[in-house]
Amino acid sequence: MNDIRIENVSRRGFLKAGGALSAGLVVGVHLPAYAQSGATAPAGTVFEPNAFVKIGTDNTVTVVSKHLEMGQGTYTGVATIVADELDAAWGQVKVEGAPADASRYNNLLWGPAQGTGGSTAIANSWEQLRKAGATARAMLVAAAAQRWNVPTASISVKGGVVAHAGSSRKATFGELAAAAATQAVPAEVKPKEPKDFTYIGKHVPRVDSKAKSNGTAMFTQDVKLPGMMTAVVAHPPRFGAKVASFDAAGVQGIPGVRTVLEIPTGVAVLANNFWSAKKARDALKVQWDDSGAFKGSSAEIMAAYRKAAEQAGAVARNDGDAAKAIAGAARVVEASYEFPYLAHAAMEPLNCVIRIADDDTIEVWNGEQMHTGDQFALAKYFGVKPEKVKINMLFAGGSFGRRANPAADYLRECATIALALARAGQRNVPVKLVWTREDDMRAGYYRPAFFHALKAGLDAGGNVVAIGTPEEIAANPQSYTGQYLKQVMDRRRSGAKAKRPQAAE
């Protein structure tokens, strides 16, 4: 992380991207994209800034989070890192979601892609945010030293107040923000030693608890825009089925209903509000074409898995003589494990808002988990450049991976509806797509089902001496052995590196 470079970004340029804020100090961090991929950056490459810290003249410290807050505490985590290095008062810190822009906000553990998942948010942001916070602090100190004509070393910062003990002068961050913005950016900053942490490793109130308790937290369902329509979709009862025909006569007379559209994933009803749209959706009469649909059952799928498990599969590791080890084992254990398809069932069902502007800009409001994937998927669908897709990241009520769908399915569904309206002459009409809990259970991408068969040998002490599937062991005498597994366990206990055992001759 030595190639992280801090810069004082122009306030005008940052505010265009980051939203309105009182004039003050904005700090950006330059992150060479090539450094994330392991490649060498070409000489003279110019990197766009990633801005993470804004200090307004109203004394507010805004931390820009490139990661989604979906209940796991990311916003509080990133705020803690910055506030600690900045020595801010916890009460003056707030967090806002970053826009979709992988050139500035990429996940450093993923390469040139922005997104949240795999418990990577804090790990990849740690050094990046510490340096951003430490740099902002150094610039505030430099501004105070210049104003008071004292050495920077004589100035202290605590709880959002910059102080000079020798002259008893003090100033808040807000009072120094404008002056700090004119300071030269230090070439190097030294983050705190762990012993000096104020917030890190200690309990602090979550930054989102109050808003989520008093109803001011903004989820997609809370978005209300002028002229917005709410869409609810009738999905086919079988995966792969399509609309054969539909009769919308039953929706006539339902207050608030605006239009009914056939789309690739079903039939969408648009209304002034959710309840009107749902009532109309329920009143639709749809005939489905099941000719290309999947008609199997869960029981049939699992039976097919059991049959497939009777055949030897691909060998991932082939160490030692498992058959011999099992033949001499004190105890042999055979077991099978079944795992059904499961809906992700996040607390907040899927939803998003999309508006197509007159200049073909696509604006999205969403609990956004995979910024880059969704941005590129929508850009491809609409036939525009990715930078024309603006994503406003809101809170999400859980995900468990559902909002990280590589197909961007529910965003594309909303996009289909918005595009149909635009082609009908209704541009600049925001469309809010809402999935009900029933939609979430019946029409979603499920956690995969699997069947696994295991055969293992144990010695008299209960230690594993061989492990594999019965078919693998029968077909591949040189299979997984407990020798390696034992070394792995020993390594975990001692920290030593295990050596791969040699295959038996």
- Judge whether residue 2 has pLDDT over 50: no
What is the DSSP code (8-state) at residue 154? Answer: G
pLDDT in tens, 171-191: 999 999 989 988 888 888 999
| 5-196 shares its CATH topology with 222-290+350-443 | yes
φ and ψ at residue 257, rounded to 5 degrees:
-75, 135
- Say if CB 84 and CB 61 are below 8 A apart: no
State the pLDDT at residue 187.
83
φ and ψ at residue 377, rounded to 5 degrees:
-65, -40
pLDDT in tens, 63-77: 999 999 999 999 999
- Contact partners, residue 469, CB within 8 Å, separation at least 6: 309, 312, 313, 452, 453, 454, 455
- Judge whether residue 474 has pLDDT over 70: no
**Mean pLDDT computed over 45-49:** 22
Q: What tokens does 251 get?
A: 């929706």
**Three-state secondary-structure class, residue 157:** strand
Fold topology of 5-196: Aldehyde Oxidoreductase; domain 4 (3.30.365)
State the pLDDT at residue 14.
37
- The long-range contacts involving 151-156, CB below 8 angstroms and separated by at least 24 positions, are none
pLDDT band at 316 (very low <50, low <70, confident <90, very high): confident
- Judge whether residue 3 has pLDDT over 50: no
Question: Which parts of 241-308 are beta strand (E)?
Answer: 242-247, 257-263, 266-271, 285-289
- Judge whether residue 471 has pLDDT over 80: no
- The long-range contacts involving 382-389, CB below 8 angstroms and separated by at least 24 positions, are 382/356, 382/415, 382/419, 384/360, 388/360, 388/361, 388/362, 389/100, 389/361, 389/362, 389/364
- Judge whether residue 270 has pLDDT over 50: yes
Least trusted range by pLDDT, from 103-107, 285-289, 301-305, 485-489: 485-489
Fold topology of 222-290+350-443: Aldehyde Oxidoreductase; domain 4 (3.30.365)
- Say if CB 335 and CB 469 are below 8 A apart: no
State the pLDDT at residue 492.
53
- Judge whether residue 88 has pLDDT over 60: yes
Residue with tokens 């917005």: 228
**Mean pLDDT computed over 449-470:** 89
Domain residue extents for the chain: 5-196, 222-290+350-443, 312-341+449-494
pLDDT band at 310 (very low <50, low <70, confident <90, very high): confident
CA 226 vs. chain centroid, Å, equals: 28
Q: How far apart are CA 434 and CA 262, in angstroms?
A: 16
State the pLDDT at residue 490.
57
pLDDT band at 468 (very low <50, low <70, confident <90, very high): confident
Q: In terms of Cα–Cα distance, which of 15, 410, 392 is closest to 218?
A: 392
pLDDT in tens, 352-378: 999 999 999 999 999 999 999 999 999
The enclosing H or E element of 452 equals strand 450-458
Residue with tokens 């000096």: 196
- Judge whether residue 170 has pLDDT over 60: yes
- Judge whether residue 107 has pLDDT over 90: yes
Q: What tokens does 332 get?
A: 């042999």
- Say if CB 44 and CB 221 are below 8 A apart: no
Q: How far is residue 252 from each of residues 211, 235, 273, 424, measured CA to CA in Å?
A: 40, 20, 16, 21
State the pLDDT at residue 29.
54
pTM of the shown model: 0.81
Average of per-residue pLDDT values in the chain: 86
What is the DSSP code (8-state) at residue 183? Answer: S
